């Protein structure tokens, strides 16, 4: 009897300890997502700090192009005058495809740089095709007038360029197509004139 009692007592204590251990682990497991979330926010904040700590006040940040390598999509849309236009029409030129919208702040900020770069290099076989992402035509025409844009503007009311051709949801997004029809550069976000000169000009001069 004594042995049986000791066995039952030991088993009971083991059960209690096991239940406490499970509860403790469960509480820890519940806290893990919160810990990871907090760590994520910390890493983001630290990254922003290190990026900005050496940036002088008032300095504008610019998107940085990355090298890519894929064939330009077969894309045909209409321009603001209702004429059909295709990327294939620009074969033999260097083309910067810019996906944008009238409500997008960085899209607005980069337009003067794009216009300036276009005017400087269009004589060298360079073109910009700015594809509007779903805005009403009247809004697009007003935007073109407000920013005095002279490069081609295409309308994309059904989001073919973003969702199908270039497979991006980010605005602005830009892609540079070389003279052979290959997409060789891409970036997300507004860009400055000096960055365009640094990365795109060498492709035009090839």
Taking only the tens place, the pLDDT of each residue in 88-102 is: 999 999 999 999 999
Total-model pTM: 0.72
Q: What is the pLDDT of residues 127-177, one digit of tens each?
A: 999 999 999 999 999 999 999 999 999 999 999 999 999 999 999 999 999
What span, in angstroms and rounded, lies between the C-alpha atoms of 125 and 168? 27
What span, in angstroms and rounded, lies between the C-alpha atoms of 42 and 47? 9
Could you tell me the CATH superfamily of domain 66-205? Glutaredoxin (3.40.30.10)
Domain ranges of the chain: 1-59, 66-205
Neighbour count for residue 95 (Cβ, 10 Å): 24
Q: What is the pLDDT of residues 34-83, one digit of tens each?
A: 455 455 545 444 443 444 344 444 445 799 999 999 999 999 999 999 99
Q: Does 2 score more than 50 pLDDT?
A: no
The answer to whether the bond into 155 is cis (omega within 30° of 0) is: no
The phi, psi pair for 57, rounded to 5°, reads -55, 135
């Amino acid at each position: 009897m004594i042995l049986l009692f000791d066995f039952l007592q030991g088993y009971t204590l083991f059960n209690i300890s096991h239940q406490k251990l499970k509860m403790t682990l469960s509480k820890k497991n519940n806290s893990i997502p919160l810990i990871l979330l907090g760590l994520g926010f910390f890493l983001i904040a630290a990254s922003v700090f290190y990026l900005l700590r050496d940036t002088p006040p008032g300095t504008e940040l610019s998107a940085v192009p990355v090298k890519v390598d894929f064939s330009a999509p077969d894309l045909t849309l209409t321009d603001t005058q209702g004429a059909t236009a295709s990327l294939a029409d620009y074969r033999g030129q260097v083309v910067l495809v810019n996906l944008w919208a009238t409500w997008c702040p960085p899209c607005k900020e980069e337009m003067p740089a794009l216009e300036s770069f276009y005017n400087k290099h269009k004589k060298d076989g360079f073109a910009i095709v700015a594809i509007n992402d779903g805005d009403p035509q009247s809004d697009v025409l007003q935007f073109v007038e407000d920013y005095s844009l002279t490069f081609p503007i295409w309308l994309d009311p059904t989001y073919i360029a973003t969702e199908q051709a270039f497979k991006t949801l980010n605005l602005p997004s830009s892609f540079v197509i070389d003279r052979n029809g290959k997409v060789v550069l891409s970036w997300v976000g507004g860009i400055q004139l000096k960055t365009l000169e640094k990365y795109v000009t060498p492709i035009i001069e090839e």
